[in-house]
Amino acid sequence: MSTAHALIRRRRQLVLGALTVVLHVLVFRWFAGQMGRVPERAFRAARVTMAEVIEAPKPPPPPPVPPPRPALAQPPLPEVAPVPVEPAAAAPASPAAPAAGTPDAAASGAGVPVLAPDADGVAAAAGRQPGQDGAAAGPGAVQSGQAAKPDVPAQAKAQADAAAKPAPAAPEARHYKVDMPPSADITLDVARTDANGTKWSGDALLSWRVTPSSYRVQVEAGIGVLFAHVNLLTLTSEGTVGDEGFVPTLMTERRRGRAMTATHFNRQDGTLTFSASAAKYALVPGAQDKASVPLQLTAIARADPKQLSGNIDILVGEDRDASVFTFMVAGQEQIDTRLGRIATWHLVRPPKPGSYNSRLELWLAPAYGWYPVQIRNVEASGAVTTQTVNNIAIK
């Protein structure tokens, strides 16, 4: 009995094992068929897409290019006799420029130094490659006792400009009473908007020291780049003090990435000369430079504000040239500063065709010793630079 049961159990196991093997084979074959099979819906979509691509209309062939016409014979141009050109008279060489250890600087506005961040110096400060400049780059200070020697093309251009541009007419002899402003340091916030809308911010310092017989003015301007301050402009003016106010003898200017330039007020021979050009002008009483002219207006207003009536004409020497600045009072205004709201007299120097194209504005504050508490330069391109006081320290 046990033997018969054992045989039956053995047969059942064999049958179950055979069925299991058969089922596994069928399952594997089914999976294999499914893995190698593409669904009908996807195949149909792919077939339609490819058909559309294949049967898409082709663009028409370009029209045939007509053969070129034969060139028409043109009559020869008449010969023109050359016009003789007389050589321009050589301008007198500029006198020596003493050395000054001022740092590099950037561009400035006409008449009063202003921050100009779209210049090469700002490009270099921001990590961009600055453009080529006519002046030598790097620490090229003018040595004492030596005249600046520009390259031949620059010298020829300067001589041509000096010969072509007439000298500015001397301002009318108008004597002003002056009251020299005491020594002080004025710090200003600088905000500039380029012609393309780019905005820059920085700071500036207007510092001067006055004694009974001499003075020295220093202007510095810089911008903030990547959490760092970069000095762009250093401008100095020094001279004596007289009945006419500030009497400059030397102005030096250094911009970032450029050589220092010097402007000489030669009192002995009565001339105004420049190390950066061959221009030469007659020196008139009351002539100023870019650094001293705002303080000269302060000295005139301190002595008698009525002197600001009418036009105030001042011959101003810059780094390469000189021109007569004409200031007029635009009115009395209240301006907002970090020192609060300040009452000011608004002076304007409008553009003058043939001399300068920018508009220069100054705001003098009677309650603060008639010091310039705001300076604005509006360039012909539309760029605007505004310097607004944030602190005044009397020394």
DSSP annotation string for 340-352: EEEEEEEEEE--B
Backbone torsions φ then ψ of 7, nearest 5 degrees: -65, -45
Query: Model's pTM, two decimal places?
Result: 0.62
Distance in angstroms (rounded) separating the CA atoms of residues 378 and 111: 12
Domain with 193 in it: what CATH number?
2.50.20
Residue 146 lies in a domain: no
Confidence at residue 141, expressed as pLDDT on a 0 to 100 scale: 37
Residue 382 lies in a domain: yes
Strand partners, 384: 193, 378
Confidence at residue 46, expressed as pLDDT on a 0 to 100 scale: 37
Residue 68 lies in a domain: no
In the predicted model, residues of the chain with pLDDT beneath 70 are 1-2, 24-25, 27-173
CB 203 within 8 A of CB 188: yes
3-state secondary structure of 277: coil
Residue 135 lies in a domain: no
Residue 231 lies in a domain: yes
Residue 230 lies in a domain: yes
- Count of domains for the chain: 1
Q: Which two tokens stand for residue 374?
A: 């705001």
Residue 156 lies in a domain: no
Structural domain of 275: 120-126+176-394
Distance in angstroms (rounded) separating the CA atoms of residues 253 and 239: 15
Confidence at residue 192, expressed as pLDDT on a 0 to 100 scale: 92
Residue 349 lies in a domain: yes
Confidence at residue 174, expressed as pLDDT on a 0 to 100 scale: 76
Cβ neighbors of 314 (< 8 A, separation 6 or more) are 171, 286, 287, 288, 293, 296, 324, 325, 327
Confidence at residue 67, expressed as pLDDT on a 0 to 100 scale: 54
Tell me the CA distances in angstroms from 341 to 204, 373, 384, one per residue in order. 20, 11, 22
